[in-house]
Structure 1
Amino acid sequence: MKLNHEVVRNILLTVEESLSYNQKVDVQDLAKFPLLENYDINDVKYTVRKLHEAGFLNISVSGTRLMEWVEVESLTYHGHEFLDNIRESGIWAETKKLASKIGGGSVSILAEIASSVIKSKLGLS
C-alpha cells in the first residue's frame, strides 16, 4: 500500500486539534473527522500505523488480528516537530513540489525538505 502524504499531514493536524490531554480516539472515529472523512478508511488505518512506526504518533492496539482496535493517543515530540514544519500550507506545497522532483520521498525526507524550506525562507541556508 502506498503512503499518502496528504493523509499524513491531515492525521497530524486532526490529532493535534481534536485530542485533549489523555484522550484517545479509535481509528474508525478518527477517519470521520472533517480533514479525513474523504479518504478511504484503509488509507487512514495504514497511515496511522506508519506514523507510529516513524515515531510521530503514540497509539495503543488491542484485540486480535481479526478484531483489532487501534486507538490514537497523541502526537510524539517528533510528530509535533514535523507538523510545526508542514503546518503552513505554503510550506507544505513547496515541500511537496520539491519532493515530486525525485518522485516523492519518505516521511523523514519530507521532514528534512520542510525544514530546509523554512531555513531558506528565514535566510539561514
Structure 2
Amino acid sequence: MKRDMQLVREIFFQIEDLPHHNKGPFDKLPDESAEVLDYHLKILQEAGLVAWDQIDRGNDCNWYLGLRLTWIGHEFLDNARNEGVWSEVRRALNDNAVKSASFSIWASTLSDRLSQLLS
C-alpha cells in the first residue's frame, strides 16, 4: 500500500477536531476504506506523528481510544494548514522530475515555504 500525503493531511485535520477523550472507529473519511485509514494511522504512529491510548480490534474496523496528534504531528499540520502553500508544495513534490518525496522533505519544504512567506 502506498502512503498518500494528501490523505495524511486530511487525517490530521480530522484528528485535530476530535474531542480529547474520543473513542470509536476512525471513520471520518467515508471515501476511504477502513484498511487504508488503519494503514495510514499505523505508519503515522510509527513515525511519532499520532498517538492513541488503546486500540480495540473490531471485525470491520479498529476502535481508537484517545486518538490524537503528537507535538510533531501538530507542527506538520500547522505548516500544511494553508491551502495555497500546501498546493504549491504538493505540485512541486509531485512533479514528474521528483515523483515522490520522503516525509522529512515534505515537512522541511512546507516549513521553508512558510518561512519565505513570513519574511
Q: Normalising by structure 1, what TM-score?
A: 0.79
Matches within 5 A, 1:99-110: 99-101=93-95, 102-110=98-106
Letter in 1 for 2:71: Y
- Post-superposition shift, 1:22? 2.3
Structure 1's consecutive aligned runs of 4 or more residues displaced over 4 angstroms after TM superposition are none
What is the distance in 2 between the residues matched to 1:22 and 1:86? 25
Measured against aligned partners, the alpha-carbon deviations of 1:3-47 in whole angstroms (never above 9, x if no partner) come to 111110011000101x12222332xxx22x2xx111232221111
Q: Residue 14 of structure 2 corresponds to which residue in structure 1?
A: 14
8 Å contact from structure 2 (residues 38, 62) kept in 1? no
Measured against aligned partners, the alpha-carbon deviations of 1:72-102 in whole angstroms (never above 9, x if no partner) come to 6211111111000001111110111121231
| Unpaired runs of at least 5, structure 1 | none
Count of aligned pairs: 115
**Quick check: 1:112 aligned with 2:111?**
no
What is the distance in 2 between the residues matched to 1:25 and 1:115? 33
8 Å contact from structure 2 (residues 34, 60) kept in 1? no
What is the distance in 1 between the residues matched to 2:61 and 2:118? 45
| Unpaired runs of at least 5, structure 2 | none
Q: Residue 79 of structure 1 corresponds to which residue in structure 2?
A: 73
Kindly report the root-mean-square deviation, in angstroms, between the aligned alpha carbons of the 2 structures: 2.2
Q: Normalising by structure 2, what TM-score?
A: 0.83
SS in 1 for 2:67: strand
Sort the Cα spacing of 1:69 and 1:43 in 2 relative to 1 into closer, same or farther, 3 A.
closer
What is the distance in 2 between the residues matched to 1:42 and 1:121? 38
